[in-house]
Amino acid sequence: MGLRFSKMHGIGNDFVVIDRRADPVAPEARRVRAMADRHTGIGFDQLLTVEPARDPSCAFRYGIWNADGSPSGQCGNGARCVAAWLHREDLLPMGRAVWLESPSGPVAVRLDGPLDVAVDMGEPRFDPARVPFEADVDAASHLLDVDGQMLAIGVASMGNPHAVLAVDDVAAATIDRLGPRITAHPRFPQQANAGFVQVVGRDHLRLRVHERGAGWTLACGTGACAAMAVLRRRGVVDAEVRVELPGGTLAIAWPGPGHALWMRGPAAFVFEGEWLA
């Protein structure tokens, strides 16, 4: 018997979802890498496992594994896909918030439509020690030396580490070079997702993200949340924004400190399959 899976995506950020409720064993990194290969495997940014909850306050748990086989702490687009998958299995009701257990802790999800999901991503954390990021003080901007170029970045954790750099144009060629260097910068001891954000207006952002363990992706839900939170902290954007990514658009709402940040967007099924290797 092979391994049954669902291929899904959230505005182009693509996943394989595996039902591990009866056998909640972490997948081998070697197997994840083989499945993630876009030429000889299925191809995906992250693998998601649906498991029994360990936290009694949560309905289910989900695990997140990057394409290189490394574990991830959070994935906003992945959370939406897990919610849609559970709804298809008649395990998640429509219109009511339900708690799911992520690797970084509980998150609330609400289905506003079968493939339209809102996720409570919690409150953004900016303390460098919690990102983690090597810095002496918590600040809205930190100078980062990248190949002799000083960049003013914001840092935030949405359950995983993010670096956010405001740019004039997300299509600039220099971004392709900077993304991997920021991700692997030694001041991020666990690496970081590097987000490049262009402010179109106080309610409209454009974003590209280079993800640790996955590289450039069409969309990054936590990256959209982090970019909005960093700019909201600086007073650049309003409490509700739309974030335009290469794969589509997400709606992000965050009133400010002391409040949870909500992300809303679509989830889509692509195909079902069986991994035989």
Q: Among this protein's residues, is 220 annotated catalytic? A: yes
Q: Which of 58, 75, 81, 225 is catalytic?
A: 75
Active-site pick, 58, 81, 220, 225: 220
How far apart are the C-alpha atoms of 193 and 60, rounded to whole Å?
Answer: 26
Sign of CA dihedral 244, 245, 249, 251: negative
Q: Which residues pair with 268 in a beta bridge?
A: 9
Using H for helix, E for strand and C for coil, what is the string for 177-245?
HHHHHHHCCCCCCCCCEEEEEEEEECCEEEEEEEECCCEEECCCHHHHHHHHHHHHHCCCCCCEEEEEE
Question: Which residue matches tokens 């998150």?
Answer: 107
Q: How many CB atoms lie within 10 A of CB 256?
A: 12
Cα atoms in the 13 Å half-sphere on the side-chain side of 99: 11
Amino acid at 39: H
List, in order, residues 6 or more apart from 268 with CB less than 8 Å away. 8, 9, 10, 84, 115
Strand-pair category, 46-52 with 13-19: parallel
Please give the positions annotated as active site: 75, 220
